[in-house]
């Protein structure tokens, strides 16, 4: 065991508790790949069944025309992605889609809207969606942009289990990607969600032209939140034509696996989700991500607007890897 690579098997706690410094995270990130993966898998086994992966399904309940200018997003009104904007979906259609997802094995239903924040006039409909999906026996998740404390409390009362709100990258790199809101705005909403008693789903995107230190700083911010997010989605950029990041340099696969391993070690009890970008990954890369501690994915043919591998491919991959879907409340 070398200095850069402490023995997590004999000292799991010392490395698992915040606050994390950049230097500690960097040392782990830079460790020999086998040491990093061994440590990540060790931490994973201490906290989870290593052969179970949680399945979430996404639905875009309001697509496109978003006033924010996130440089990666097909749904921003600032970019020419060619996506057609639509109105908020009807509640009964959302429930019908959620029923199909449940019947196909998803345990969590995540509804996303291309908003800066929900308007007062939208709240009744989103509350009805949460209540309806909850009544199907699924976990509910929403991602609607910024929330104030009152809106968060209302969603909690309706039965919302999770709220997704990503910090996306490091504080340093944030303004290179988004100019219509700040990193601090993101943290404010996360605090409102946490204070209202809703579980937090918060992660980011890699492969946006950031430096390794930005990926490390993003994880340090997440791991040093007052409580770790229960879910940590790690998205690999899906380059979208017409957006400023359409030509961003792709992240190298081994580096991506390092990010997953680091997230697992730094947030040992969180579900780390291998999120957007799986269609561009080989089966072997995904298998390495599961070994590094990823234990959640989005299932289905589409994410919000972009493609996802789809049920048949994932079922086959899980069979080959001996992975089974995680049931609600089992971990
Ligand atoms: N409008 C809400 C918001 O931004 O919080 C919710 C929807 S937004 C599409 C949810 C997350 O999807 C973003 O924070 C980002 O991390 C991820 N995302 C969006 N476009 C992506 C892309 N092209 N590639 C990878 N991840 C993406
Ligand atoms: C998250 O971190 N990834 C999901 C979910 N949270 C809402 C969204 C991925 C979106 C990928 C691009 C698209 O489908 O438009
Ligand atoms: Fe809007 Fe969310 Fe897309 Fe940003 S990521 S443009 S806030 S939908």
Residue range 140-174, pLDDT digits in tens? 999 999 999 999 999 999 999 999 999 999 999 99
Cα(73) to ligand 1 centroid in Å equals 6
164 lines ligand 2 (CB under 6 A): yes
Residue 14: predicted pLDDT: 46
Cα(300) to ligand 1 centroid in Å equals 17
Class of domain 32-320: alpha beta
Q: Give the mean pLDDT per block of 10 residues along the chain (331 residues).
A: 46 61 96 97 97 96 97 97 95 96 92 97 97 96 98 97 98 98 98 98 98 98 96 98 96 98 97 98 98 97 96 96 86 64
Residue 3: predicted pLDDT: 44
> Which residue, 159, 158, 160, 176, is CA-closest to 168?
176
CA 116 remoteness from chain centre: 18
Residue 105: predicted pLDDT: 85
Cα(276) to ligand 2 centroid in Å equals 6
| Boundaries of every domain in the chain | 32-320
Give the nearest ligand 1 atom to 146 CA.
5
Mind telling me the catalytic residues? 66, 70, 73, 110, 141, 201, 273
70 is in an annotated binding site: yes
Q: Which residue puts its alpha carbon closest to atom 2 of ligand 3?
A: 114
**Cα(242)–Cα(78) distance, integer angstroms:** 10
| Its pTM surpasses 0.85 | yes
202 is in an annotated binding site: no
> Which residue, 276, 111, 299, is CA-closest to 205?
276
5 is in an annotated binding site: no
83 lines ligand 1 (CB under 6 A): no
**CA distances for 207 relative to 71, 135, 174, 190, 224, angstroms:** 12, 38, 13, 23, 23
Specify burial of residue 17 (Cβ count, 10 A radius: 0-12, 13-18, 19+).
Answer: exposed
């Amino acid at each position: 065991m070398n200095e850069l690579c402490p023995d997590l098997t004999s000292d799991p706690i010392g490395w698992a508790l915040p606050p994390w410094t950049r230097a500690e995270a960097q040392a782990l990130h830079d460790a020999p790949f086998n040491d990093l993966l061994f440590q990540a898998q060790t931490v994973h086994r201490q906290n989870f069944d290593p052969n179970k992966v949680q399945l979430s399904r996404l639905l875009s309940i309001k697509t496109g025309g978003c006033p924010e200018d996130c440089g990666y997003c097909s749904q921003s009104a600032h970019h020419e992605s060619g996506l057609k904007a639509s109105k908020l979906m009807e509640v009964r259609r959302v429930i019908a889609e959620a029923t199909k997802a449940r019947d196909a094995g998803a345990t969590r239903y995540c509804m996303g809207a291309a908003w800066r924040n929900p308007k007062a006039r939208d709240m009744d409909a989103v509350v009805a969606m949460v209540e309806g999906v909850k009544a199907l026996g699924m976990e509910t998740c929403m991602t609607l942009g910024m929330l104030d404390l009152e809106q968060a409390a209302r969603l909690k009362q309706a039965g919302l289990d999770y709220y997704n709100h990503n910090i996306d990258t490091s504080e340093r790199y944030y303004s290179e990607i988004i100019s219509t809101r700040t990193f601090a705005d993101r943290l404010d909403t996360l605090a409102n969600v946490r204070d209202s008693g809703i579980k937090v789903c918060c992660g980011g995107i890699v492969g946006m032209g950031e430096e390794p230190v930005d990926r490390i700083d993003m994880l340090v911010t997440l791991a040093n939140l007052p409580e770790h997010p229960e879910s940590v989605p790690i998205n690999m950029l899906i380059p979208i034509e017409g957006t400023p990041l359409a030509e961003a340099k792709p992240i190298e696969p081994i580096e991506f696996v390092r990010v997953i391993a680091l997230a697992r070690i730094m947030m040992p009890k969180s579900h780390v989700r291998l999120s957007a970008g799986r269609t561009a990954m080989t089966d072997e890369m995904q298998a390495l991500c599961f070994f590094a501690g990823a234990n959640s994915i989005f299932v289905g043919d589409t994410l919000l607007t972009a493609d996802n591998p789809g049920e048949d491919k994932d079922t086959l991959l899980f069979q080959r890897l001996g992975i089974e879907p995680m049931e609600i409340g089992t971990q």
